[in-house]
Amino acid sequence: MTSRSRDQVVERRVRLDPVPESARQARAFVGEALEEAGLPGFEDSATLLVSELVTNAIVHARTPIEVAVVATAATVYVGVSDSSGQLPARRDYGTQATTGRGLALVDLIAARHGTETHDDGGKTVWFELGAADDKVHQITDQQDTPPDPTAVDITFRGLPLRLARVWQQYVASLMREYLLLIWELDGDVDGRLADQALAADALADVAAALDAAPPPGAGDHVDVTLELARQHGERFVGLDRLLEAIMGMDGRDDMLTPRMQPEMRRLRRWICAEVRHQLAGHAPVSWSGFQTGDVDPAARPVDWDVAAVQSSAVAELAADDANRIIAASPSALALLGWTATELLGQRLVTVIPPQLREQHVAAFSEHLLTGVQTILGRGITVPALHRNGTEVPIGMVVRREQAAGGRAVFIATLTAEADD
């Protein structure tokens, strides 16, 4: 390794376009700068973190990006600058989530990190590695800004909080993946990029409102307020348009982000409609609650052998990763009062009491997206909805099996429980 005095500095800067290839270019640029500085021991951490920050800038800022590296004998400083005033915020997503890890990784790995705002409205997100006792880049305190007289308080009345937080994760993951596909699709690339930028800002607006909402346990449905400048209403038009386009894409099932449940699509349409209507002066309309609806007709059937469940001597019910009931044993049908013709192909929420359906969809969706496990493999007692409309207590143990193409199937073993 090259011997360097503490006073020697290697300083390099590069300008990058807001395209997916820039994350790879940033990693190579930082690696080369550290090699020149004789600091290969920092390379793995520095290239990992710069990749996350550049990807965040690509997804959320949609402006040209500058990466700066300053290396001494003891420290490495890396800054990622863009022209967006949207400040980054850490999101506590699951460990297997495909988004939201950037700032968490920086916090875990870097010696120091922060965000500096620019007079022109842009920002630099930076981190340092090494013993940064003489660091000159300090976190800039954000100055309070006066209220915007053109801003409107948008109230999402009765927002299903847990479902909304899972929806936010879903959309962030979906948009990040879609960004990598934009240049491969036919049609108006510039229009899709414009909607991507608007949608990213809208999602950040919603995330900020959810961060300010009551903590988990404060209630399933709460009123959440978003302060929004009138001219930013177009962000939610872009969000609505972009997600509708993604949902209708050919090859949607080939994306890593799983399909959204219908309730999350309804939630997005309601959020966007509330922004539009309240900016026009209308009163807030409450979330209308859960509706079972139909299974997404575009979701492909799962390739999995149902014979073992259908012939099981115990009560078993199987559902695929689109939440469709695909198999039921005779004992399970008898326990719940259904016939196979009536039940197979219905959504799993059909046998879940109405007051528990949103929580089920949120937990089911979160598991598919992040791998978080809440009930798999452990026995629980829950109420099930009988065909005659009554609730029956059942014991349940759920296991997950792999189907063809990486799809998931969930099998619940049911037992009748005595009423208290």
Q: Tens digits of per-residue pLDDT, 337-366?
A: 999 999 999 999 999 999 899 889 999 988
CB under 8 Å to 147, separation ≥6 — which residues? none
* Confidence band for 1, pLDDT divided at 50, 70 and 90: very low
203 Cβ neighbours under 8 A, 6+ residues apart: 168, 171, 172, 175, 239
Average the pLDDT over 386-407 and give the result.
92
**The model scores a pTM over 0.75:** no
pLDDT score, position 47: 85
**Residue 83 exposed, middle or buried by CB count within 10 Å (0-12, 13-18, 19+):** middle
Mean pLDDT of 409-418: 90
Q: Enumerate the β-bridge partners of residue 123.
A: 82, 117
Domain boundaries, the chain: 10-130, 151-279, 307-416
Question: Sheet harboring 65-71: ordered strands across?
Answer: 10-16, 65-71, 75-82, 123-130, 112-117
What angle do helix axes 233-247 and 161-181 make, rounded to 10 degrees? 70
For residues 221-250, average pLDDT: 88
Residue 60, CA atoms < 13 Å, CB-side half-sphere: 30
Q: Is the pLDDT of residue 83 over 50?
A: yes
Token output for 314 = 């115990």
Instruction: Count CB-CB contacts under 10 A for residue 170.
Output: 27
Q: What amino acid occupies position 255?
A: M
Domain 307-416 class, CATH top level? alpha beta
Contacts of 280 (CB under 8 A, 6+ apart): none
The band of 251, judged by pLDDT with boundaries at 50, 70 and 90, is low
Nearest one of 88, 95, 98 to 60, comparing CA atoms = 88
CA dihedral 103, 105, 109, 113 (to 10 degrees): -10
- pLDDT value at 144 more than 80: no
How many C-alpha atoms does 195 have within 13 Å on its Cβ side?
Answer: 18
Rounded-to-integer distance, Cα 344 and Cα 342, Å: 6
Angstrom distances, CA of residue 183 to CA of 174, 186, 275, 340, 351: 16, 8, 30, 46, 43
SS3 138: coil
State the DSSP code for 338: -
Count the neighbouring beta carbons within 10 Å of the beta carbon of residue 278.
Answer: 20
- In 3D space, the residue among 29, 120, 39, 32 whose CA is nearest the CA of residue 80 turns out to be 29
- Domain 10-130 and domain 307-416, same fold? Reply is no
Q: Which residue has the higher pLDDT, 220 or 126?
A: 126
Please provide the CATH number assigned to the domain covering 10-130: 3.30.565.10
Residues 220-234: what's their mean pLDDT? 90
What pLDDT score does 38 carry? Answer: 85
Sheet of 391-402: strand order equals 325-328, 315-320, 408-416, 391-402, 380-385
Res 136: pLDDT? 34
Give the model's pLDDT for residue 253: 67
Q: What is the mean pLDDT of residues 243-250?
A: 81
169 touches 97 (CB < 8 A): yes
Query: 249 vs 158, which has greater pLDDT?
Result: 158
How many angstroms separate the CA atoms of 171 and 33, rounded?
35
Mean pLDDT of 269-293: 89
